[in-house]
Chains A and B, each alone.
Chain A
């Protein structure tokens, strides 16, 4: 009963607002440039100024935080926190030597490069033909496959990793980089396929018809006509996958417990935990710089492509 009255009230309210709307809009015409609208404009100006200030505080704050870390990695342990805002007169590279030698970041770096590059290549190699088939052909099960892929994009990794862990420990695949690569590829196929389906759809269909008229077989058309055309889409997919995997944490943490097999994320976590026992903060900062450098260089070079790929790709 109460719900019913609430409902009628709501409809009444909405009716009255719709009735009100027109007169209000009519009043706010351009003809009325009175003192009131000028006051409103200056209020908007102040609001915009405040907003712009907020944006810049945010941007500059983020930049300072990043730059501080880079500068700090060249300072010595004694001054890094006692005079945090000073800039060292002679940059000290010992921290980088420490990060590489004491904490063995070389292995972590090489492991990460290996895992990320192999997984990314496999993801694209497996997803691209599947995406092409889904984009261009109708075949039995294509609807189901599209649905399954869409559902899989939203499935949390947490739902996958416990049974895989149990299976891997049975066959001795824990602490194996290849074991992690297999998981990474599976995790990334759904999203990458989706991204590439929309990309292949955007390519003109006449090309395949022309190729078919020339007597080109499906396989050859795919490899010699479609793949080269799809290169921008493939590279976007590859970059997005690579960034995601470079940063991947949960699977690496669970499956790579041996410090010879650490990836950078786990190496950093371990280094951070070590600060409790033997503080060498500058080495930690050096480690952070080393592990972020490849990504940030890539980002500075291709930021538009990366941003577009990550946002438009997920917007589809």
Chain B
């Protein structure tokens, strides 16, 4: 087909230009600002090398947020994947499968702040639905101060599990639906138990989907912001026990009440986040790499 260089430019140019200005340039600028003591537009900033990064590694707040993130990543992740696998198995042979899946999935497309409000209403120690329900069924002994210091982090993690599981279940279901039925029929004929079918057929055949799901979970967990911010702060500053690096970055950089408006420091946190995403994605890719399976 005849096509001039100008045609290509016409098709690709706008996207490339947009990305250069609103993606490429900001990434480079973030790297640069993270090496300065930038305090704002009106202040002069100077190059301070890696000082922001060394400060970061010694900052007890940042180290706490890092632990919070790791706990969400691994404990929350283990729960989300365990439940998603279970749901996927159950949904495969359940009536009203589509309906159940659609309801489970719904939180994923709902405004995180609205979910946070809903979760707060459910767990409020005085007026919350959960405690009132426990009273109603005579299990008042199980009532807890769900939003208090002892429980707030657990409440956040369970909330994240609740709103993510539907998405991962659906993702796994989509992978399983692509497996030809005759694999299971053959396994059935061989007398393989369900557990055997799961380990020998389902897992290997959905391996790539599981890998993708793991990558998405890691990216999502590292960046998670809206739900935690709104839930543990109830519209104000979030509880310190639930600060993730992303929340700490926001407060340090943009919240004059809680931070120092230190843009350079914030950018250093951002760069750490990006490195973290890159390294974990590379590790997961490597762990899940294998020969392509054709089916």
Contacts and interface: CB of A to CB of B under 8 A. Distances in A.
B30 A159 contact: yes
Contacts of B81: none
Contacts of B234: 272-273, 275-276
Interface stretch (B54-62, B65-73, B149-157, B169-177): B169-177
Given A40-B193, A51-B87, 5 more contacts: A65-B118, A129-B15, A253-B229, A265-B113, A295-B109
Given A28-B191, A186-B21, A218 B235 contact: no
B202 interface: no
A312 B235 contact: no
A81 to B, nearest CB: 4
Interface of B: 1-3, 7-8, 10-12, 14-16, 18-19, 21-23, 25-27, 29-30, 33, 38, 40-41, 86-87, 89-91, 94, 98-114, 116-118, 120-122, 127, 129, 132, 136, 162, 165, 167, 170-171, 174-175, 189-194, 196, 209, 212, 215-216, 219, 222-223, 225-226, 229-230, 233-236, 246, 249-250, 253-254, 263, 266-267, 269-271, 273-274, 277-278, 281
Interface string A36-61: 00001000100010011011101100
B30 A28 contact: no
Nearest to B109: A243
Given A55-B90, A315-B174, A254 B250 contact: yes
B60 to A, nearest CB: 21
Interface string A198-234: 0000000000110010000011001000000000000
A81 B127 contact: yes
Given A44-B193, A52-B90, A208-B1, A186 B22 contact: yes
A56 B96 CA distance: 10
Contacts of B162: 62
B113 A249 contact: yes
A55 B100 contact: yes
B191 A30 contact: yes
A274 B235 CA distance: 8
Interface SS of chain B: helix, strand, loop or mixed?
helix
B12 A145 contact: yes
A208 B235 CA distance: 54
Contacts of B281: 154
Given A182-B22, A295-B110, A310 B167 contact: yes
Given A84-B129, A189-B18, A268-B111, A130 B12 contact: yes
Interface stretch (A3-11, A12-20, A89-97, A164-172): A164-172
- Interface size class of chain A, counting residues whose CB lies under 8 Å from the partner chain: 35 or more
A102 interface: no
Contacts of A85: 132, 136
Contacts of B263: 162, 165-166
Contacts of A51: 86-87, 89-90
A269 interface: yes
Contact of B223 (A157, A222, A271): A157
Interface centre among A169, A304, A314 (most CB of B within 10 A): A314
A29 interface: yes
A148 interface: yes
A133 B236 contact: no
A109 interface: no
Interface string A141-178: 00001001100101111111111111001100000000
B26 A219 contact: no
Contact of B226 (A63, A160, A190, A250): A250
A303 B209 CA distance: 21
A163 to B, nearest CB: 3
Contacts of B111: 246-247, 249, 264-265, 268, 291-292, 295
7 contacts: A51-B87, A154-B277, A156-B277, A186-B21, A189-B23, A303-B102, A315-B212
